[in-house]
Amino acid sequence: MKKFLSMLLIAVGLVSCGDDDKPYVPELNKLTNVTCTKNGNTFFDADITYDQDKQINRIVLNMGGNQYTDNYIIVDKTISVSGVKMDNGSLTNPFVHTVYKLSGDIIATKEEKSENKYMSNAVYTATESSYTYNSNWLKSVSQIIRWPNENGSGYQTRELGEVDRYSWENGNIVHYAYLPQKEITYEYDSQLRPDNFPFRVVNSFQPVGFDMISPINLMYGKMNLNLPTRAYWYYVSEATDICAEYTFRYTLTGDYITGMTVEEKINPVNGATAENNTYEYTFIYNFVVEQK
């Protein structure tokens, strides 16, 4: 009996030690700066700040000789983004130009607002996007668009229905389609995407802008498991004619993606001019929570 009790105490001790000795895995730091060059020349630069709750507070984007400062105001399940935007080639005055509505921690709707030049620049919702998920995987986007009547009497509305569709395989988006005709295919290898690297397949057929690596991407449900190595887009009816191709390479420092190179090859298809461009990205992670 004593032998049995001794063995039992040893077993309990081992379990307790096992619980105490679990390795602590620190949370990866947040992305705070992105710089990108195109063929050696500045393409864009973005600074990202967060509040003490680790939520996005401000993004300052310099691109094309203009500076866009977006302030993120988060109240309950609503994120309001206030700042300037480009409208018909000119910068607007600051106003709330984007509003996200959340379901849990996931973006459910996005309202993109514009100023009505026919009604003393009254702000209206120009595009309303609704996001559909399947077990937190983003599957499709439906849209409603509005535009003002030139006589200032109000707005016209059109329900477009489903405009974007995403297809997933093995934890990654392999196809993004802008219905009904355009599609981009992504390819992956086994390289995992770090949790703090906000690369997302966005509704673009030129995946080289800030949108694809903006931290807001982490709020669109589950992210890709792996890092893409290649993407190419085409018209569905002419899938063998690749309009443009992109290859991705990454620089890792420890667990962090500190650099990314995107090679762009635009093919002379459907009247396009052939181009070859190189985009070089640098990523900095330097978020420090200030003591209250």
**Kind and range of the H or E run holding 67:** strand 66-75
Q: What is the dihedral of CA 139, 137, 210, 124, to 10 degrees?
A: 60
Is a pLDDT exceeding 70 seen at residue 14?
no
| Contact status, residue 193 vs residue 199, Cβ threshold 8 Å | yes
The Cα–Cα gap between 11 and 78 comes to 51
Residue 9, pLDDT score: 38
The Cα–Cα gap between 138 and 213 comes to 17
Question: What are the tens digits of pLDDT across the range 29-66?
Answer: 999 999 999 999 999 999 999 999 999 999 999 999 99
pTM: 0.87
φ, ψ dihedrals at 231, nearest 5°: -145, 145
Q: Which is nearest to 102 in space by CA: 110, 114, 93, 94?
A: 110
The Cα–Cα gap between 158 and 127 comes to 10
Residue 27, pLDDT score: 86
Residue 8, pLDDT score: 37
Is a pLDDT exceeding 50 seen at residue 15?
no
Residues 67, 281, 267, 165, CA torsion sign: negative
Percent of the chain with pLDDT over 70: 90
Which SS3 state, helix, strand or coil, does residue 45 take? strand
Q: What is the dihedral of CA 185, 191, 195, 198, to 10 degrees?
A: -40
Residue 292, pLDDT score: 44
Residue with tokens 């040893």: 10
Residue 16, pLDDT score: 47
Domain at 47-285: CATH code: 2.40.160.190
Residue 152, pLDDT score: 86
Question: What are the tens digits of pLDDT across the range 271-287?
Answer: 899 999 999 999 999 99
The Cα–Cα gap between 94 and 113 comes to 12
Question: What are the tens digits of pLDDT across the range 105-115?
Answer: 999 999 999 99
Question: What are the tens digits of pLDDT across the range 190-215?
Answer: 999 999 999 999 999 999 999 999 99
Chain-wide mean pLDDT for the chain? Answer: 90
Q: Which is nearest to 42 in space by CA: 61, 59, 63?
A: 63
Enumerate the domain spans of the chain. Answer: 47-285
Is a pLDDT exceeding 80 seen at residue 6?
no
Which SS3 state, helix, strand or coil, does residue 268 take? coil
| Contact status, residue 65 vs residue 50, Cβ threshold 8 Å | no
Residue 209, pLDDT score: 94
Residue 289, pLDDT score: 61
Q: What token pair was written down for 192?
A: 């995992």
- Going by pLDDT thresholds of 50, 70 and 90, the confidence category of residue 22 is low
Residue 21, pLDDT score: 62
Percent of the chain with pLDDT over 90: 80
Question: What are the tens digits of pLDDT across the range 59-105?
Answer: 999 999 999 999 999 999 999 999 988 777 778 889 999 999 999 99
Residue 290, pLDDT score: 52
Residue with tokens 């086994």: 190
Question: What are the tens digits of pLDDT across the range 226-275?
Answer: 999 999 999 998 888 999 999 999 999 999 999 999 999 999 988 899 99
Is a pLDDT exceeding 60 seen at residue 158?
yes
Is a pLDDT exceeding 80 seen at residue 11?
no
Residues 62, 66, 67, 68, CA torsion sign: negative
